[in-house]
Structure 1
């Protein structure tokens, strides 16, 4: 269980990095699309359901918003929280709880930022990603330190 806990926590940290890369890819694609003479306005955004974007990087936007951020990270965080009660990692449930709460806050910040068009919430959304990443790394390291057994007396003498 400790190994599962460690892998899940590490996976969340990696997914946060991948998600950040995907949004950077998407924004770069939008800028290139605009440089090519296209216009990004409200009608384009509202029409994305019927006429999805074709700019390079649009897949990054989809992965960032819908797959990784809405499904994969929250589900992995919930599984980490459940596993934490059985993994016998020191401070494991507390660290998993911090990770999960930060993920919930992240989802809410992203949702409200999009719904209200409030740039400050987007800023907090980006900053909260660092909290998720850091807490996930701390959780992974807590499990790793437990799995490493201290050297036996015969190993110390050698």
Structure 2
């Protein structure tokens, strides 16, 4: 189960890298279209027929960011409850929360374009959290009952709290 957890965490981090590559490809394609004399306007965007280099990058970015990463992050969170590694649940929850914020920011960019600044920075936070989750699970020792604090041997159940 620990290997599955680690694999899922690395998948989230790797998918964010795919996201960056896809949006760079799409943006480069749009710049190429404009430099060749093309026009990017509302009619082009609504027709879904840009037929330019990089157009597929927007589709990849949308599918991976809107479906794949959230599903993998959710599975990571569920699996974290079955992994015996200290901090697994915490880092899976942080990763899932950052992914939820990322999706919200991504869908809100059309209304508030400045959210794109936070969207890009949050992508780095998603990579960092997922990487920390993977590294802690791979290098971490399992959480056991031995990790519990040791009670004072001199204390008894009859002791009165001061």
TM-score for both structures, normalised by structure 1: 0.86
Match of 2:53 in 1: 56
1:108 has 2:104 as partner: yes
Match of 1:45 in 2: 45
Paired residues, number: 142
| CA distance in 2 between partners of 1:88 and 1:60 (Å) | 39
Question: Contact 1:95–1:135 at 8 Å: present in 2 too?
Answer: yes
Structure-to-structure mapping, 1:119-158, within 5 angstroms: 119-146=113-140
Deviations 1:86-119 (A, max 9, x none): 01121001100000010000000011112x1x22
Higher relative contact order (Cα pairs below 8 Å, separated by 6+ residues): 1
Structure-to-structure mapping, 1:3-82, within 5 angstroms: 3-48=3-48, 52-65=49-62, 67-82=63-78
Match of 2:86 in 1: 90
How far off its partner does 1:147 sit?
Answer: 6.6
| RMSD, matched Cα | 1.3
Stretches of structure 2 lacking an aligned partner (at least 5 in a row): 143-162
| CA distance in 2 between partners of 1:24 and 1:95 (Å) | 28
| CA distance in 2 between partners of 1:132 and 1:39 (Å) | 34
TM-score for both structures, normalised by structure 2: 0.84
More helix by share: 1
Match of 1:156 in 2: none
